[in-house]
Amino acid sequence: MIQIHLLLLWMSRISVYAQSSNYPDCQSGPLAQFPICDQSLPSRLRAADIVSQMTTAEKITQMATTAAAIPRLGIPKYQWWSEALHGVAYAPGVTFDGDLPAATSFAAPINLGASFNTRLIYRVANAISTEARAFNNEGQAGLTFFTPNINIFRDPRWGRGQETPGEDPFLTSQYVYALINGLQRGEDDRYLKMAANCKHFDAYDLDQWNGTDRFHFNALVSNQDLVETYLPPFETCIRDVRVASIMCSFNAINGVPACANKFLIDTIARKSFYFDGFVISDCGGIDTIMYDHNFTSTVEDTVAAALLAGTDLDCGTFYQRYAQQALDNKTIVESDIDRALERTYNALIRLGWFDPPEQQFYRHLNKNHVNTVKTQQLALDSAQESIVLLKNVNNALPLNINELKNKKIALIGPTANATILMQSNYYGRAPYLIDPVLGFKSITAGTSIDIEFAYGCAISGTDESDFTAAIELASVADVVIFFGGLDQSIEAEGCDRSSIALPRIQYDLLKRIEDVVQSPIHVVIMSGSGIDLTFVRDSSLYGSLIWMGYPGQAGGLAIANAIFGEYNPAGRLPITFYPASYVDEVSMTDMQMRPSATNPGRTYKFYTGKAVYDFGTGLSYTTFVYSWNDQLTSFSYSIDLLMKDNYDEKHVLTVLLQVNVTNTGAVAGDDVVLAYILPPQLKRNGQTPPIKQLFGFKRIHLNVNETGQVFFPLEISAILTVAHDGSKWLHPGIYHILIGQTLMRSIELQGKSARWS
């Protein structure tokens, strides 16, 4: 309370607040005397009151993302659809102009996953929510943002994988916990800072592949995969961090469209995960129930299917067009609409939409809180911390500026001068974009190093007209750095890949460059997904390989800092890089995670083939050594006793695992310490266990010869096995704990198998 009193005292000195036309007036407007404006009442009662003041026709106008004004009640028009995936972004509810022409553009979510740094993720989210509030106060954004995307990146072809933190349920759950806290919670705990939205619920990870699109796709998902892989991030988002809203997806799940799926929305989200927010459809998602999935045959039945399943808000106009008809033929009753609106209005109340501006800290945020020195540095941090060094032969990197005097560095390739491409998708207008060429010239300014650029080729296509200039530059350069990768014409919303190889035009250019270079080639890949780079990995003609994802507004400076050693890269792959043949081994429509006769297995947990680069791969310019902080090598537990003690899944099974990490190299740097559990490799009831699964990670910075400690709680949840029917079991056997790739100890469970839940 002391903090709030200080905030209110400070705010009393501020004379300019957000324009009241964007908000209802609870001080002198038509609603002033109604319970909706009584802040002493619970938000649910206030929401019920405002809905009760509306006519049926008025209620229906509030059931879409573009909610109409209700002048007689003093309720302004409200646009529910704003975006802020990795910065305030273009959307129907967001505009960039006037005093707020731009917003900080942070690295893409796939990059934040690669950082394995939940503190960074929280800081980025908090900065985004501050800028979002500033935009809202200027009437340039809403308060409800359709972010984050927490679907599991299970297939490398998915065009929207770049919007997620990666392929692992544990990493994704840790990401969403940090992110939602940063987005929704801030300086004033009386209000939501903004209302986030976890999407897409659930098993959505196909957009357009081989004749199947997301609007028609019926995802056949076993209970085992649902519980083990697809639901955990949503459970964290809903139950553990209490997100304000979730979005149901376009696809059907086991024959039932997600937005009409009462089992998914009501039984799982509301009853099992205790969700108390509102559910919105993906945009046009209610239409797909009838027109694409053919789940219903009339518009009235479609309204009823979605509304009664628990889809409260329509991103579209289906409810607005047909809810009255559904009422007229008694497919629904008015209390069904009331229930939905009470949920959506409850969110607006929690955001302070009805409360006086002078008492709200967030209402003072303005242009001075956007694109600050701190957020500029944070954007650079998000780009740098996500850089993944995959190959570095004989310390080819970092480049030594002092040894390159009077030398020529050639930057060749279609992403060397990338600008907007660095912003991935769901991006906004950035205050500036530092491409790699500009970044390199900035680092070498004032030296005699000659930085030259040749485009060489487009991301894809067959035009080789720029090959000659690139090859000529490569032949006379002392250092050649090739910048390649993908763009939104290859991987994007509505566009899945058919190939996971480097586009042929880039491969052909690199092969030509190999014939003329004077030293090993350095390769930098900009992409939101994995690429088969076996030829770069295995050839002595390539000295280094870096994956930089989509790094945001400061990406060019980040990669220049890393290559010249101003920053020591420590990112780790949040996805598996598969061989190109993977796409021929499994259909993208196959949702099964475990291997089968037609599926080599998905993600590092189940893939039975040889990866090009494994999940968690990443090098440093220094070296680290791990050791246990104690002498214990193994633990033993009785399954019977664990069951009798009636613990929950979050109970820590053993003392904190304490690991010493020592920097044994020549430069300071970060290390990402990954902790895995390796279950007994025994098939039970024909089910293959995971090869290994992540249960902890920690990013730590160490100076030369410095030793630090990291701690990993091993919870019971890490050793539970999910059966085909979705039940969880404790099975006897030896479970190995693996820290990184070297440090191991074991836990033995003794007794008979027991069902946990």
Beta bridge partners of 388: 547
Sheet holding 728-730, edge to edge: 721-722, 728-730, 754-755
Q: Do 688 and 672 touch, CB atoms closer than 8 A?
A: no
Which helix (H) or strand (E) segment is 289 a member of?
helix 285-291
What residues contact residue 655 under an 8 Å CB cut-off, 6+ apart? none
Helix (H, G, I), strand (E, B) or coil at 6: helix
Q: Do 713 and 652 touch, CB atoms closer than 8 A?
A: yes
Both structure tokens of 254: 């086991």
Beta bridge partners of 737: 677, 745
Kindly report the backbone phi and psi dihedral angles of residue 728, in degrees, each rounded to the nearest multiple of 5, phi listed first.
-110, 140
Counted residue by residue, the chain has a size of 757
The bridge status of strand 66-67 relative to strand 450-454 is: unpaired
Residue type, 243: V
* Residue 638: count of CB within 10 angstroms of its CB: 14
What residues contact residue 15 under an 8 Å CB cut-off, 6+ apart? none
Residue of 680, 677, 678 whose CA lies nearest to 732: 680
Helix (H, G, I), strand (E, B) or coil at 530: coil
Alpha carbon 146 to its chain's center = 12
Inter-CA distances, 34 with 7, 47, 49, 146, 276, Å: 28, 11, 8, 31, 24
Kindly report the backbone phi and psi dihedral angles of residue 672, in degrees, each rounded to the nearest multiple of 5, phi listed first.
-105, 115
Residue type, 614: D
Q: 225, 282, 287, 355: which one is catalytic?
A: 282
- Any catalytic annotation for residue 282? yes
Q: Compute the C-alpha angle 239/245/251, nearest 5°.
A: 100
Q: What residues act catalytically?
A: 282
